[in-house]
Chains A and B, each alone.
Chain A
């Protein structure tokens, strides 16, 4: 009887020891490596509407026209009119009509998106190949063709976030809404 109790007790103590060990294993192994400032700089290329993170540099539409001729025209057409791919210019004031034309000029609410997307994704055959000054210049050219800035406006990290796009107030934020239900 005494031995029997001892065995039970041993099992009980062992059992709790095992379960204690299991529950104390971290579910969060913390295997990430702290990033160095150099690593951060290479990874962090996105630009939001506030312009934070824009690289130092500048460019105007006159220079941008040359970049456009060399790198963009074959897809986006003469002066951003489109064909074979998306038009970049025109349509301002058309959004509430029966034939809305959605381009960078008429539809894109923020100039930061133009810089960010061109730098990361364009030109299609060699994305990320334009220099920062080339991205400023070709962005200035698209904004100039849309009548948003003048031809000699020097677009830079200092002023890009202040450019007010024609459709700046055109978006209704649905991020806090559930799925749209049509009745």
Chain B
């Protein structure tokens, strides 16, 4: 029985794997030794029967690139992306420049990513006074206020609780604000304009488990979550959300949560505005009503033209963005392109994404590719053949509650002139005749 060359190599690598077991290794040795002899015999026979090949006695090495002919780098403890992908980075916007280097945002380069999971190091970061370096052995989560027994939980004790894993998006309520505020469309990448959206596999503890242990009093109707960072970020949310699907996340994409995402733990309120998913969580205070903190009064409220403002607009609207093709890209020539992007809804599952290539005159359905989970990004795709003429690419998402992604004009008509939060409106990418892709308002 003569084995092919690849079968032969496979048996050799099997041998390497089984080195830990002396018995197995010796069996394998005998087996592969006999294989090798058979192979050599076959090869020699082939050489001898072909005079032309026998004359050209040279190695195949010259036909391979250097990485195929020299040993690769040694093993390393924590892998990094290829150096050829070094340009895939978050875009940084500092709200107050160097006066407050830790205040502002690092935006996910959504146009350079695929699928639905954001690599942990590229998850967007919106912070209000830097990323704290928290020693987990000195950090506690306190549950207090209107409870029977105020409780402190060490990080070590929380790691012993039964856990759940869920894939959830987080979107900052200020995402896409520039597209509402700027009178003329800003020419930038999808990530720069809309990159305050990311999605991870989070593992942690249902908040209801911890609240039940502390014993919430009947008059406890709200929860104030507070972070341990220098800004002492604090946000109020209703007890119903806490008991429904809120979780304390300790892990992100399989490893302990990154410092910019709240190490050693953050609050997760699926589908609700990013700012409420308090990072570096240190305290949950049960209260009778909302605390009216700075970030739920002066910020993240939606001013109206009549001078009033909507407060506590927690649930994020249904939204989608085409990431390919998108802002600042250039289509090299006419022909086939895949239109691809991400969609999500704070109300649960996205059920449908429609695409228009003529600025909303005609719509056709995109395909949802891969898993479709509630409060999670979905990836959509649609084939497109560009005929070389100007086109206006749009996507419109619809969720399981029947909510439809609105137009920019509808948002402007329903908000004050300086309204900017919770912008879930349809994004338009204009493809010009030369193939360049621009941000556009329609």
Residues of A at the B interface (CB closer than 8 Å) are 27-35, 39-40, 43-49, 75, 84-85, 95-96, 98-100, 102, 104, 107-110, 112-113, 116-117, 120-121, 124, 127-128, 170-175, 177-183
CB distance from B6 to the nearest CB of A (A): 47
Cβ contact within 8 Å between A109 and B307: no
Known contacts A46-B293, A49-B292, A181-B403; 13 further A-B pairs (Cβ under 8 A) = A32-B149, A32-B213, A33-B153, A40-B142, A44-B145, A75-B96, A84-B96, A95-B307, A117-B294, A121-B294, A127-B230, A170-B307, A182-B411
CB distance from A133 to the nearest CB of B (A): 20
Residues in chain A near residue B417, CB distance under 8 A: 98-100
With A48-B291, A116-B294: A174-B311 Cβ-Cβ less than 8 Å: yes
Cβ contact within 8 Å between B311 and A95: no
Cβ-neighbour of A34 out of B151, B283, B316, B345 (below 8 A): B151
Cβ contact within 8 Å between A179 and B293: no
With A39-B142, A44-B285, A124-B100: A31-B311 Cβ-Cβ less than 8 Å: no
With A34-B150, A100-B417, A110-B292: A171-B311 Cβ-Cβ less than 8 Å: yes
The number of residues on chain B lying at the interface, defined by a beta carbon within 8 Å of a beta carbon of chain A, is 82
Closest to B158 in A: A31
Cβ contact within 8 Å between B234 and A46: yes
CB distance from B109 to the nearest CB of A (A): 26
Q: A46–B345 Cα gap in the complex (Å)?
A: 32
Cβ-neighbour of B305 out of A43, A84, A96, A116 (below 8 A): A96
Q: A49–B238 Cα gap in the complex (Å)?
A: 17
* CB proximity to A under 8 Å, residues B120-136: 128-129
Cβ contact within 8 Å between A179 and B315: yes
CB distance from B366 to the nearest CB of A (A): 21
Cβ-neighbour of B308 out of A75, A121, A172, A175 (below 8 A): A172
Cβ contact within 8 Å between B297 and A110: yes
Cβ contact within 8 Å between B99 and A75: yes
Q: A147–B334 Cα gap in the complex (Å)?
A: 64
Residues in chain A near residue B226, CB distance under 8 A: 46
CB distance from B135 to the nearest CB of A (A): 17
CB distance from A116 to the nearest CB of B (A): 7
Interface membership of chain B positions 298-316, coded 1 if the CB is closer than 8 angstroms to chain A and 0 otherwise: 1001111111111111111
Residues in chain B near residue A171, CB distance under 8 A: 297, 301, 308-311
Residues of B at the A interface (CB closer than 8 Å) are 96-97, 99-100, 103, 128-129, 142-145, 149-154, 157-158, 160-162, 209-210, 212-214, 224, 226, 230-232, 234, 238, 282-283, 285, 287, 289-294, 297-298, 301-318, 345-347, 401, 403-404, 406-407, 410-411, 413-414, 416-418, 422, 424-425
Q: A171–B212 Cα gap in the complex (Å)?
A: 32
With A112-B292, A121-B231: A179-B152 Cβ-Cβ less than 8 Å: no
Cβ contact within 8 Å between A182 and B209: no
CB distance from B312 to the nearest CB of A (A): 4
Cβ contact within 8 Å between B289 and A121: no
CB distance from B345 to the nearest CB of A (A): 8
Residues in chain A near residue B345, CB distance under 8 A: 179
Residues in chain B near residue A39, CB distance under 8 A: 142, 152
Cβ contact within 8 Å between B157 and A178: no
Please name 10 pairs of A and B residues whose Cβ atoms are closer than 8 Å in the assembled complex, sorted by A.
Answer: A31-B157, A32-B214, A34-B149, A47-B291, A100-B416, A117-B294, A124-B99, A124-B129, A179-B317, A181-B406
- The A-B contact count (CB < 8 A) is 192
Residues in chain A near residue B314, CB distance under 8 A: 174-175
Cβ contact within 8 Å between B309 and A182: no
Cβ-neighbour of B297 out of A29, A109, A124 (below 8 A): A109
Q: A48–B289 Cα gap in the complex (Å)?
A: 9
Cβ-neighbour of B315 out of A48, A96, A102, A178 (below 8 A): A178
Residues in chain B near residue A43, CB distance under 8 A: 142, 144, 282-283
CB distance from A174 to the nearest CB of B (A): 5
Cβ contact within 8 Å between B214 and A175: no
Closest to B312 in A: A175
Residues in chain B near residue A95, CB distance under 8 A: 303, 307-308, 416
Cβ-neighbour of B213 out of A28, A75, A120 (below 8 A): A28
Q: A46–B99 Cα gap in the complex (Å)?
A: 27
Residues in chain B near residue A33, CB distance under 8 A: 151-154
Cβ contact within 8 Å between A178 and B150: no
Residues in chain B near residue A177, CB distance under 8 A: 313, 315
Q: A178–B401 Cα gap in the complex (Å)?
A: 10
CB distance from A126 to the nearest CB of B (A): 9
Cβ-neighbour of A35 out of B151, B234, B290, B305 (below 8 A): B151
Q: A180–B282 Cα gap in the complex (Å)?
A: 31
With A33-B152, A113-B294: A179-B311 Cβ-Cβ less than 8 Å: no
Closest to B224 in A: A46
With A32-B157, A174-B311, A175-B238: A100-B297 Cβ-Cβ less than 8 Å: no
With A35-B152, A170-B307, A180-B313: A175-B290 Cβ-Cβ less than 8 Å: yes
Closest to A103 in B: B298
CB distance from B264 to the nearest CB of A (A): 15
Cβ contact within 8 Å between A108 and B297: yes
Cβ contact within 8 Å between B212 and A28: yes
Closest to A97 in B: B307
Cβ contact within 8 Å between A182 and B410: yes
CB distance from B286 to the nearest CB of A (A): 11
Cβ-neighbour of A32 out of B153, B304, B308, B346 (below 8 A): B153
